[in-house]
Structure 1
Amino acid sequence: MTAEQIEEYVKQHASGKVKLAAADIDGILRGKYISTDKFSAVLKGELGFCDVVFGWDAQDLAYENTKFTGWHSGYPDMPLQLDLNTFRKIPWENDTPFFLGDFFDAKGEGAYVCPRQLLKKIIAECRSLGFEPYFSQEFEWFNFEETPDSFALKGYKEPKPLTPGMFGYSILRSALKSDYFNDLFDLLAKFDVPLEGLHTETGPGVYEAAITYSGALEAADRAILFKTAVKEIAYKHGIMACFMAKWREDLPGCSGHVHQSLWDADSKTNLFFDPQQDQHMSELMQHYIAGQLHCLPHILPLVAPTVNSYKRLVEGAWAPTTLTWALDNRTVALRVLPLGAKSARVETRVVGSDTNPYLAIAACLAAGLYGIKHQIPLSQPATVGNGYKDFSNGKLPTNLDEATKQMKESAVAQELFGEKFVDHFCCTREWEWQQFAKVVTDWELKRYFEII
């Protein structure tokens, strides 16, 4: 639709309102409803939005260690500009018009704290090198027969899974709650978040969805909208959808694998595929892989951003722990799939379902481009067999504190994302670790209460 057609649709919509949102640093969509009259005014300029969305954590607790905003600045408004290319109709809200936006600074430049702006910056760099990035993110998540109220009344303990048992790829289990299952597939398609596939994963009440690939920015938009849309559709069925990396120690974690390839914009050819090369991996693809292997330890919090992320990254739990790559091997960090001229791609398997898609995709793309710009050779051999046992090139950091310290001190991270972003983001991860470190957990009570 053209801008004029979009504006006319909004004006004619019976609800008289528009829903808009933008991502905070944790990948939570912060937004509001505005009237259609207000929307017309917004199209002529920016919308003011309190910058506290970058001054507090996922629980709305104000940071005490960041510079961007805080009590010292008074939490002023910052400009939010809607992107008309993100226009969608929300099918479970009577086709209410919806838009995503970007945050800007007072000078009209993209705010350095804005995740969508960061991804745009990396995409622009990619295009300046002559490549068009195509991406997709897939998600695993647990579903529970709970509401926010019922789970709170349980003290956030022992949620009831949607279905019992460990039934991965189960036609039987997907039929058990078929109304919800089918609503996900159908309503997401109507919301312009098309799925290539949807199935049960191993674990009670686990689903996995692969979002149809697209340009990198659209892929990130789809991914962040997918997570919120799934939660909203689940609410309609009396279900809670959980994208924690790992909610219980004895069950598998939830991934957010990122699939990626670089294409020639003019010839529309996949530059990762070369039939003349060994395993059909182009030199460009090899540099891209080498760049990610080099950068991953420097940028891990972008793809493993929470304390809980590292509970998933443990040996033998379908999530990588070593700096490894291999052809079609699900035990390594980078699963390489040079399958054909259309489908050749790299799958970064470190990424969890708890990520901010803008930051996860920006991290993968920037790291791959680092390998191309610096012409890093793929000298590391492909892992054969179990990647969990291949320590020849090192292991990933094992907790958020360790990973954040490495990123904060990294010249590589600053080269990729800029000093200001790295400082702000790492401060938010330090804050996250501090909040965790001061809590007395159930594990501690069970272990020490009586016996010590």
Structure 2
Amino acid sequence: MTSAQIKEYIDQHPSGKVKLAAADIDGILRGKYISTEKFNALSTGAMGFCDVVFGWDMGDLAYENSQFTGWHTGYPDMPLKLDFSTFRKVPWEDNVPFFLGDFYDAEDNPSSVCPRQLLRKVIGHCEELGFKPFFSQEFEWFNFEETADSFAQKGYRDPKPLTPGMFGYSILRSTLKNEFISDLFRLLKQFDIPLEGLHTETGPGVYEAAITYSEALEAADRAVLFKTAVKEIAYKHGIMATFMAKWNENLPGCSGHVHQSLWDAEGKRNLFFEGEGTHKISSLMQQYIAGQLHCLPHVLPMYAPTVNSYKRLVEGAWAPTTLTWGVDNRTVALRVLSGGAKSTRLETRVVGSDTNPYLAMAACLASGLYGIKHGLELGQPATVGNGYRDHSNGTLPVNLHEATQQMKQSDVAKELFGEAFVDHFCRTREWEWQQFAKVVTDWELRRYFEII
């Protein structure tokens, strides 16, 4: 739709409102409804939005270590500009008009802490090199027969899974709750989030969806909107969906694998494919892989951003723990899929379902481009067999604190994303670790209360 057609649709919509949102540092959509009149008054597409969305954590607790904003700044507004290319109609809300936006600073420059702006910046660097990045993300998530109220009343313990048993790729289980699955497929497509596939994964009430690939910014928009859309559609069915990386120590974790390829500037030729090359991958793709392997320890919090993320990254749990790559090998960090001229791509398997898609994709792309810019050679051989046992090139940091300190001190991370972003992001991850460190857990009570 053209801008004129969009405005006409909004003017004629009976709700008299527009829904808008933008992602915070955790990838949580923060938004509001505005009236049609308010929308029409935004002649430049910009509006004031309190910068507290970058001054508090996912529980709305104000950071005490933030330099970007806080009590010391008075939490002023920052400009949010709506991106008309993101226009959608929300089908489960009577097709109310919807937009995503980008944050800017007071001088009308892209905000250094805005995740969507960071990805835009990295894509811009990619295009300057003559490449067009195509990405997609796939998600695993658990579903429960709970509401926000019922789960709170249980003390956030023992949620009832949507279905019992493991049942990966089960036709039976997808039939058992078919109304929900059918609604997901249908409504997400209507919301311009087309899926390539949707199936049950191994675990009680767990699904996996692969979002159709697209240009990188659109892919990230789709991924961010997918997570919120799934939760909202689930609400309609009396279901709670969670994208926690590991909600139960005895069950598999949830991934958010990112698939990526670089094409020529016209988007006509996949530059990762080389029919005569080793494993049918080009030297460009080898440099891209080498860049990700080199940068991965420097940017891990962008792939694994929470304390819980690292409960997923354990040996033998379908999530990588080593700095490895391989061809169609699900035990390594970077999985090469070299099926043909159109489908050859890299799958970064470190990424969990709890990530901010803008940051995860920015990290993937920037790291790969680092390898290309610096002419890194993929001297490390492809891992064949069990990647968990291949420690020859190192292992991943084991918790959020360790990973954050490595990123905070990394010149590589600052080269990729700029000092302002790295400083703010690492402060938020340090805060996350501090909140966890002071909590007395159920495990500690069980282990120490009586015996010690």
**Could you say which TM-score interval applies, normalised by the shorter chain?**
over 0.9
Instruction: Report the counterpart of residue 72 of structure 2 in structure 1.
Output: 72
**Can you list the C-alpha shifts for 1:327-347, whole angstroms capped at 9, x where unaligned?**
000000000011100000000
**Can you list the C-alpha shifts for 1:56-75, whole angstroms capped at 9, x where unaligned?**
00000000001000000000
Query: Structure 1 stretches of 5 or more lacking a match?
Result: none
CA change 1:413–1:267 in 2 (3 A) is closer
2:404 matched to 1:404? yes
**Can you list the C-alpha shifts for 1:47-96, whole angstroms capped at 9, x where unaligned?**
00000000000000000001000000000000000000000000000000
**Can you list the C-alpha shifts for 1:370-400, whole angstroms capped at 9, x where unaligned?**
0000000000000010000000000000000
Q: Is the 8 A contact 2:45 2:82 kept in 1?
A: no
What secondary structure is seen at the aligned counterpart in 2 of 1:269?
coil
Instruction: Report the counterpart of residue 322 of structure 1 in structure 2.
Output: 322
Instruction: Report the counterpart of residue 435 of structure 2 in structure 1.
Output: 435
2:350 matched to 1:350? yes
Equivalent runs, 1:371-410 vs 2, <5 Å = 371-410=371-410
Instruction: Report the counterpart of residue 37 of structure 2 in structure 1.
Output: 37
**Can you list the C-alpha shifts for 1:189-241, whole angstroms capped at 9, x where unaligned?**
00000000000000000000000000000000000000000000000000000
- Give distance in 2, aligned partners of 1:132 and 1:46: 28
Using the TM superposition, give the Cα deviation of residue 169 of structure 1 relative to its aligned residue in structure 2, in angstroms. 0.3
Structure 2 counterpart of 1:374, one-letter code: H
**Can you list the C-alpha shifts for 1:396-440, whole angstroms capped at 9, x where unaligned?**
000000000000000000000000000000000000000000000
What secondary structure is seen at the aligned counterpart in 1 of 2:359?
helix
- Give distance in 2, aligned partners of 1:392 and 1:45: 52
Structure 1 counterpart of 2:77, one-letter code: D
- Give distance in 2, aligned partners of 1:91 and 1:415: 42
Instruction: Report the counterpart of residue 118 of structure 1 in structure 2.
Output: 118
- Give distance in 2, aligned partners of 1:439 and 1:430: 15
Moved over 2 A (4+): none
- Give distance in 1, aligned partners of 2:351 and 2:176: 29
Instruction: Report the counterpart of residue 238 of structure 2 in structure 1.
Output: 238
What secondary structure is seen at the aligned counterpart in 2 of 1:380?
coil
Instruction: Report the counterpart of residue 175 of structure 2 in structure 1.
Output: 175
Instruction: Report the counterpart of residue 135 of structure 1 in structure 2.
Output: 135
- Give distance in 1, aligned partners of 2:10 and 2:356: 29
Structure 2 counterpart of 1:185, one-letter code: F
Instruction: Report the counterpart of residue 60 of structure 1 in structure 2.
Output: 60
Using the TM superposition, give the Cα deviation of residue 277 of structure 1 relative to its aligned residue in structure 2, in angstroms. 1.0
What secondary structure is seen at the aligned counterpart in 2 of 1:119?
helix
Instruction: Report the counterpart of residue 163 of structure 1 in structure 2.
Output: 163
Structure 2 counterpart of 1:432, one-letter code: E
Instruction: Report the counterpart of residue 265 of structure 1 in structure 2.
Output: 265
Task: State the aligned residue count.
Answer: 452
What secondary structure is seen at the aligned counterpart in 1 of 2:347?
strand
Instruction: Report the counterpart of residue 212 of structure 1 in structure 2.
Output: 212
Instruction: Report the counterpart of residue 341 of structure 1 in structure 2.
Output: 341
Structure 2 counterpart of 1:181, one-letter code: I
- Give distance in 2, aligned partners of 1:235 and 1:346: 34
- Give distance in 2, aligned partners of 1:301 and 1:235: 30
Using the TM superposition, give the Cα deviation of residue 265 of structure 1 relative to its aligned residue in structure 2, in angstroms. 2.1
- Give distance in 2, aligned partners of 1:428 and 1:87: 30
What secondary structure is seen at the aligned counterpart in 2 of 1:97?
strand
TM-score using structure 1 length: 1.00
**Can you list the C-alpha shifts for 1:139-191, whole angstroms capped at 9, x where unaligned?**
00000000000000000000000000000000000011110010000000000
Instruction: Report the counterpart of residue 20 of structure 1 in structure 2.
Output: 20
Using the TM superposition, give the Cα deviation of residue 45 of structure 1 relative to its aligned residue in structure 2, in angstroms. 4.2
What secondary structure is seen at the aligned counterpart in 2 of 1:270?
coil
Q: Is the 8 A contact 2:271 2:282 kept in 1?
A: yes
- Give distance in 2, aligned partners of 1:303 and 1:107: 31
Structure 2 counterpart of 1:155, one-letter code: G
- Give distance in 1, aligned partners of 2:388 and 2:48: 49
- Give distance in 2, aligned partners of 1:166 and 1:298: 35
Instruction: Report the counterpart of residue 195 of structure 2 in structure 1.
Output: 195
Structure 1 counterpart of 2:119, one-letter code: L
Using the TM superposition, give the Cα deviation of residue 46 of structure 1 relative to its aligned residue in structure 2, in angstroms. 1.2
Using the TM superposition, give the Cα deviation of residue 279 of structure 1 relative to its aligned residue in structure 2, in angstroms. 1.3
Once the two structures are aligned, what percentage of the paired residues are identical? Answer: 78
Using the TM superposition, give the Cα deviation of residue 267 of structure 1 relative to its aligned residue in structure 2, in angstroms. 6.2
What secondary structure is seen at the aligned counterpart in 1 of 2:65?
coil
TM-score using structure 2 length: 1.00
Instruction: Report the counterpart of residue 88 of structure 2 in structure 1.
Output: 88
Instruction: Report the counterpart of residue 444 of structure 2 in structure 1.
Output: 444
Question: What do you get for the CA RMSD once the two structures are aligned?
Answer: 0.6
**Can you list the C-alpha shifts for 1:261-312, whole angstroms capped at 9, x where unaligned?**
0000236100000112121110000000000000000000000000000000
Structure 2 counterpart of 1:413, one-letter code: A
Instruction: Report the counterpart of residue 365 of structure 1 in structure 2.
Output: 365
Q: Is the 8 A contact 2:141 2:244 kept in 1?
A: yes
Q: Is the 8 A contact 2:132 2:267 kept in 1?
A: no
- Give distance in 1, aligned partners of 2:207 and 2:42: 38
Structure 2 counterpart of 1:87, one-letter code: F
- Give distance in 2, aligned partners of 1:113 and 1:57: 14
Equivalent runs, 1:224-303 vs 2, <5 Å = 224-266=224-266, 268-303=268-303
Structure 1 counterpart of 2:4, one-letter code: E
What secondary structure is seen at the aligned counterpart in 2 of 1:326?
strand
- Give distance in 1, aligned partners of 2:397 and 2:345: 25
- Give distance in 2, aligned partners of 1:434 and 1:396: 21
